[in-house]
Amino acid sequence: MTRTILESRTKTVVIGFDQPFCVIGERINPTGRKKLAAELEAGNFATVEADALEQVACGAAVLDVNSGAVFTNRMAEDPRYADNNFVEPTLMPELVKRIQAVVDVPLCIDSSVPGALQAGLETAHGRPLLNSVTGEEERLALVLPLVRKYNVPVVAISNDDTGISEDPDVRFAVAKKIVERAADFGIPAHDIVVDPLVMPIGAMGTAGLQVFALVRRLREELGVNTTCGASNISFGLPNRHGINAAFLPMAIASGMTSAIMNPVRPQEMEAIRAANFLMNNDAWGAEWIRANKPPAAEGDAAASGAEGARGRREGRRRRG
């Protein structure tokens, strides 16, 4: 049974076919978040810390840490800030330190810059997930040695030097190439988490069917775990959360084992908890019941507390 092991300082998360679906929180990402990028440029990590705490509280088992900020104002003072190869390796370790100071969950080190990936690996506790490698020859040559050196699992994205293919057979072939190339470095298949690439359903009507078929094939033929950017499926459409909440259980039933997504959205998280229960990855529905147990009314809580106190006093009298 394929199991991908992630670790923080004290916690272990297992991504696997017989495990609850692994939610990887996506919110620590300044791309498209101008306010967050401006805060980071000013050395303010308050939103990063708040996002880390909120995502874990909402059910994220792993946090994605993306260092792709653009420091517009600093460019005028120092031309090096126009180069992501300078910015991201500088920012990534600070992000990792701030997050690890407030939460203890495994991290997913996310960057297109190999220097930032290495800086994140050097700073992260435990065994983080590396995001990502593609089938591009240059990327394979830069990232796979890092995966081997630090003995970490890696997200493998199914595109190569020709770009992203709309043909699912081509995307499968790219994933197979990455798994085989990783094996040449001594990296086992259980440490490869393939992202088969989810196309927007609004632009391609077969996008859902394609990814479900790809996930089944990746599991059956390559024996690898899978992930995706879940919100891609609903890009450009109204009521995106409704689409995402339908997509995720269908992907889980097809064999997908994780997703990079927003755990703060209750509609999607409820769908995942239900799917875990229905897939027998929530023993006796314990997590489903815990998440849906109605809060005790104030009077009931007080009565329960008083009853407990009476019981403890009675017990002491009997022992005396």
Q: Which domains does the chain have, with CATH numbers?
A: 3-281 (3.20.20.20)
**pLDDT over 70 percentage in the chain:** 92
Task: Assign 198 to helix, strand or coil.
Answer: coil
Q: 161: which residues sit within 8 A by CB, 6+ positions away?
A: 135, 136, 137
> Tokens 């840490």 map to which residue?
65
Residue 311 CA to residue 55 CA, distance in Å, equals 39
- The CA-based angle 60-61-67, given to 5 degrees, is 75
Tokens representing 111 are 């960057």
For 146-193, what is each residue's pLDDT tens digit?
999 999 999 999 999 999 999 999 999 999 999 999 999 999 999 999
What pLDDT is recorded for position 306? 52
Q: 277: which residues sit within 8 A by CB, 6+ positions away?
A: 285, 287, 288
- State mean pLDDT over 223-246: 98
pTM, to two decimals: 0.91
**Selection from 164, 190, 163 nearest residue 179 by Cα:** 190
One-letter amino acid at 8 equals: S
What pLDDT is recorded for position 85? 80
Query: Between 76 and 72, whose confidence is greater?
Result: 72
Residue 54 CA to residue 230 CA, distance in Å, equals 19
What pLDDT is recorded for position 32? 86
What pLDDT is recorded for position 60? 98
Task: Assign 3 to helix, strand or coil.
Answer: strand
- State mean pLDDT over 102-131: 98
Residue 310: pLDDT band (50, 70, 90) is low
Query: What CA dihedral angle connects 249, 255, 280 and 259, to 10 degrees?
Result: -60
What pLDDT is recorded for position 64? 98
Q: Which residues of 188-208 are buried (b: 16+ CB within 10 A; e: fewer)?
A: ebbbbbbbbbbbebeeeeebb
